[in-house]
Amino acid sequence: MSDDLAWLTATQASRAFAARKLSPTELVRALLARIERLDPKLNAFIRLDAETALAAAATAEAEIAAGRHRGPLHGVPVGIKDIIDVVGLPTTCHSKVMPNTPATADAVVVGKLRQAGAVIMGKLSTHEFAIGGPSFDLPWPPARNPWNRDHHPGGSSSGSGVGLGAGFFPLALGTDTGGSVRNPASACGIVGLKPTYGLVSRRGVFPLAFSLDHVGPMTRDVADNALLLDAIAGHDPHDPGSAASSSRDFARGLERGVRGLRIGYVRHFHEQDMPAHPEVAAGLDAVARTLAGEGAILSDITLPSLGEFAAVNRVILNAEAWTIHAPWLRERPGDYGQLARRRLMPGAFLTAGDLLAAQRRRAEMIAAVDAALEEVDVLLCASSMDPASRIEDADETARTYPRQARAPFNTTGHPALAMMAGLSRDGLPLSVQFVARHFADATLFQVARAWERASGVDRLHPDLS
Amino acid sequence: MDKLLIEALARQAGLDRALAEFPDCVLAAAKQAIGRSSEINTPTSPAVEPWPPMKVGAGA
């Protein structure tokens, strides 16, 4: 297959389908062949559902041919993180703990993708229960970075990031509780959005921490990310965290540029709180300079420290996760991998006072970010402080994994997008993160697209030949 | 924290089996949790309330 099909965006595929230059079946067949050839080295998939994908592609092809075009995702392949229910397939959570029984219904987000005519390719690797990884003691191996398979692809939505980075599909769903969409986006050089809390339904998604969990779109370029968010956003009366928002058309400002837009650069995150790798810091400065050159008005902004954000996030996450996993941890601790066991048990040792202290400070942190976003339109800050660690070096991974600036925005619920800032000297992706006001997800796409257009980062792909 | 105290807290949480089979994991988990709230600047004003746990508004 030509690389042109592997790197096709959803937008390009949809145009090609409409122009009868390509059919969904041709695209799915080509991608399945690529997956068969390359995934044994990358482990993006827990379960590839080739037969169902080909049937869905054939249906989409017939509908498009008959003039019943459902929209820009019709016939476009998508991968689903395996903590999200897809009817007829088990939701493994990458764990021995989960029963091997098929889901009886689609998650709301999967149902919306089916409505849009997307072709579901299968279920993707994750860290165990979206927290324990990368691990080598689970029923499936961990996914590996397509830019260098000796490196971690980020997590927990690892397979989503790897599959996009490797050209297995143009769209994927991930979830993000402390940064799990944006970490693989950063490590694999793709685009990952944690939407505003409550914008996307979580029903049918195995929870990690109720008040921090988000489902997020992952893509290879910014325009596709906006399209995917359009498809999955919307109020769900049966999700207690769902907002009554009717926001749509997230791509509306995509090509507006950043002239006159006020961007607050949160330098202290990576200069003082967690000093970043020099190449990461240089990459962030380059993004800031480029956006200023495009007409944005840059200023420095101060938020609470990363260390404190991390502490608040962890106390809440640990407490909420413990209430979900306590019965299994009591009865079947040996069915978890070591990392998940260690990361899910801390909640047993927290007090009610710990949790309430974190929740009260969280209220102040939300107000602090809101106040900063009164001064500026968007925040620019680090995502990961280091390029991806070597996956088999547990010490390096343990050292670098917490060195990130993503968890603050799970704590506050603000929309946050991570994408490539360039490549390191070793050829690994560097990353940047943009943050906007609640429900201003479209503004994030506007800024991200300005960076993408100026830098051409969406045209960088790993050599997997 | 004292190992005996951690073991007592683990038993109180129903983690007897984990304690027997994976004592290092229990110890590591306890160390992550204990003292974590000391890293938080807990609000001093009683007007700062902890709920709702997560509401960001209704949006457009």
Write down the pLDDT at residue B51: 73
Write down the pLDDT at residue B58: 64
Residue numbers of A annotated as active site: 81, 156, 180
* Interface predicted TM-score (ipTM) of this complex, two decimals: 0.93
The tokens of B21 are what?
Answer: 């089979």
Contacts of B9 in chain A (CB under 8 A): 348-349
Q: What is d(CA A315, CA B54) in angstroms, rounded to the nearest whole number?
A: 15
B16, pLDDT greater than 90 = yes
- Taking a C-beta distance cutoff of 8 angstroms, is the pair A265, A380 a contact? yes
A406–chain B nearest CA distance, Å: 17
The reply to whether residue B37 touches residue A311, judged by beta carbons under 8 angstroms, is: yes
Three-state SS for chain A is CCHHHHCCCHHHHHHHHHCCCCCHHHHHHHHHHHHHHHHHHHCCEEEECHHHHHHHHHHHHHHHHCCCCCCCCCCCEEEEECCECCECCECCCCCCCCCCCEECCCCHHHHHHHHCCCEEEEEECCCECCCECCCCCCCCCCCCCCCCCCECCCCCCHHHHHHHHCCCCCEEEEEECCCCCHHHHHHHCCEEEECCCCCECCCCECCCCCCCCEEEEEECCHHHHHHHHHHHECCCCCCCCCCCCCCCCCCCCCCCCCCCCEEEECHHHHHHHCCCCHHHHHHHHHHHHHHHHCCCEEEECCCCCHHHHHHHHHHHHHHHHHHHHHHHHHHCHHHCCHHHHHHHCHHHHCCHHHHHHHHHHHHHHHHHHHHHHHHCCEEEECCECCCCCECCCHHHHHHHCCCECCHHHHHHCCCEEEEEEEECCCCCEEEEEEEECCCCHHHHHHHHHHHHHHHCHHHCCCCCC
Identify the segments of chain A with pLDDT beneath 50. Answer: 1
B9–chain A nearest CA distance, Å: 7
For testing the chain B interface, which of A210, A344, A345 should be mutated: the one with the most B CBs within 10 Å?
A: A345
- Taking a C-beta distance cutoff of 8 angstroms, is the pair A443, A341 a contact? no
The reply to whether residue B29 touches residue A345, judged by beta carbons under 8 angstroms, is: yes
Each residue's pLDDT tens digit, B24-59: 999 999 999 988 888 999 999 999 988 766 766 665
Does A326 reach chain B within 8 Å, measured CB to CB? yes
* Mean pLDDT computed over every residue of chain A: 97
Write down the pLDDT at residue A244: 83
- Taking a C-beta distance cutoff of 8 angstroms, is the pair A139, A57 a contact? no
Write down the pLDDT at residue A3: 66
Write down the pLDDT at residue A325: 98
Residue A179 CB coordination number (10 Å): 31
CA-CA distances (angstroms) from residue A342 to A84, A414, A460, B11, B30?
Answer: 23, 29, 37, 16, 9
Q: What are the φ/ψ torsions at residue A317 (nearest 5 degrees)?
A: -60, -50
Does A92 reach chain B within 8 Å, measured CB to CB? no
The reply to whether residue A311 touches residue B13, judged by beta carbons under 8 angstroms, is: no
Does A368 reach chain B within 8 Å, measured CB to CB? no
**What 8-state DSSP symbol labels residue B55?**
-
Q: What is d(CA A42, CA A162) in angstroms, rounded to the nearest whole number?
A: 7
β-pairing, A429-436 with A416-423? antiparallel
Residues 6+ apart with CB under 8 A from A145: A151, A152, A153, A154, A162, A165, A187, A188, A388, A391, A428
**What 8-state DSSP symbol labels residue B40?**
S
